[in-house]
Amino acid sequence: MRNCIIASTSTLHGGDYLDYLLDTLQRHFESCSSILFIPFARPGGISHEEYTAKVASAFAKISIGVKGIHEFEDPKKAIVTAEGIFTGGGNTFLLVSQLYKMEIMQLLSETINKGTPYLGTSAGSNICGLSMQTTNDMPIVYPPSFQTLGVIPFNLNPHYLDPIPNSTHMGETRETRIKEFHAFNTLPVLGLREGSWLEVIGEKVTLKGDLTARLFLQNQEPVELEPGTDLSRLK
């Protein structure tokens, strides 16, 4: 039975890394003495070692150890034997490229679907959808496929930002970009605001946090979904 926390972000403004989620994560990983961290997204280009140390520092607050997948000779075995798994944020193109390069995308999906507790933030959440095509990231590398884990039956846009009234910014809004996606694709897209996350228990997907999320469906006006909404029906 799937058991996932899929969060828009790792850090809220003015807070420390993962602090706003720690109480939730303590319950989520209550059966784990340690977790496997996948650092491939490398925010800002930091090394796997630096990123893993940052995550380890945060999880030490709830007495859970962390080891990076890059520390294992056999990454496939590391995934299969992990008590819990966390994929951090950064660049989704890089993350997806590395998962395919190491031939562990499908294995990671299978392991999550068998019930290993999973946490994703930002890019690590992006890959929980059916594809990575609604990421916000620059295509700094070229993955062999945009297909991702398919843990949830729709796509995500983490860090979703609403248009700012009277802004002089002339670039596309997130809503505009998602409409561009829907010109060619039928998948629902959930705009997940900062501080919001999805809780996945088995087949049930529930919106958590204090904010609404914005749901985009092809050829329909976007709608706001309240915290507590069951998203399992989205397909």
Which are the catalytic amino acids?
122, 137, 159
Beta-strand pair 213-216/223-225 = antiparallel
110: enclosing H helix or E strand: helix 105-113
- Strand 34-38 and strand 85-87: the pairing is parallel
Q: In this structure, what are the phi and psi dihedrals at residue 108, rounded to the nearest 5 degrees?
A: -65, -45
| Structure-token pair, residue 8 | 């828009």
| List of residues 6+ apart from 174 with CB closer than 8 A | 136, 157, 160, 161, 162, 191
Distance CA 137, CA 113 (A): 26
Q: How far is CA 26 from CA 31, 67, 86, in A?
A: 9, 17, 13
The vertex-157 CA angle with 53 and 165, nearest 5°, equals 115
User: Is residue 125 within 8 Å of 156, Cβ to Cβ?
Assistant: yes
**Helix, strand, or coil (residue 75):** helix
